[in-house]
A = this chain, B = another copy of it.
Amino acid sequence: MNLPLQEIEARFRRHAVRLTRQRAAIYAALAATTSHPSADDLYRIVKRRQPMISRNTVYYTLGVLRTAGLVREVNVGHDMARYDGNVSLHHHLICLGCGQIMDVMDDELNRLQLSNGQAKGFDVLRHRVEFYGYCVSCQQARRDVSPHRRLAPSFIEGGEHGKQFKGHQES
Q: A112-B129, A120-B93, A129-B128 are contacts. A73–B156 as well, Cβ < 8 Å?
A: yes
A16 touches B (CB below 8 Å): no
Q: A93-B114, A106-B118 are contacts. A123–B133 as well, Cβ < 8 Å?
A: yes
Copies of this chain per assembly:
2
Q: How far is the CB of A65 from chain B (nearest CB, A)?
A: 10
A13 touches B (CB below 8 Å): no
Chain B residues with Cβ below 8 Å from A75 are 75, 77-78, 156
Q: A67-B158, A118-B93, A161-B67 are contacts. A127–B127 as well, Cβ < 8 Å?
A: no
Chain B residues with Cβ below 8 Å from A139 are 123
Q: Which of A46-72 contact B (CB under 8 A)?
A: 60, 63-64, 66-67, 69, 72
Query: Closest chain B residue to A120 by CB distance?
Result: B102
Q: How far is the CB of A10 from chain B (nearest CB, A)?
A: 20
Q: Are A134 and B127 in contact (CB under 8 A)?
A: no
Q: Can you list 22 A-B pairs, Cβ within 8 angstroms, ordered by A?
A: A66-B161, A67-B160, A72-B158, A75-B77, A75-B156, A77-B78, A78-B80, A78-B81, A84-B157, A93-B114, A93-B120, A114-B131, A119-B131, A120-B136, A122-B133, A122-B134, A123-B139, A124-B133, A125-B132, A125-B154, A126-B132, A128-B156
Besides the known contacts A66-B158, A124-B133, 9 further A-B residue pairs in the complex with CB atoms under 8 A apart: A67-B153, A72-B158, A75-B75, A75-B78, A95-B122, A112-B129, A119-B133, A126-B133, A129-B129
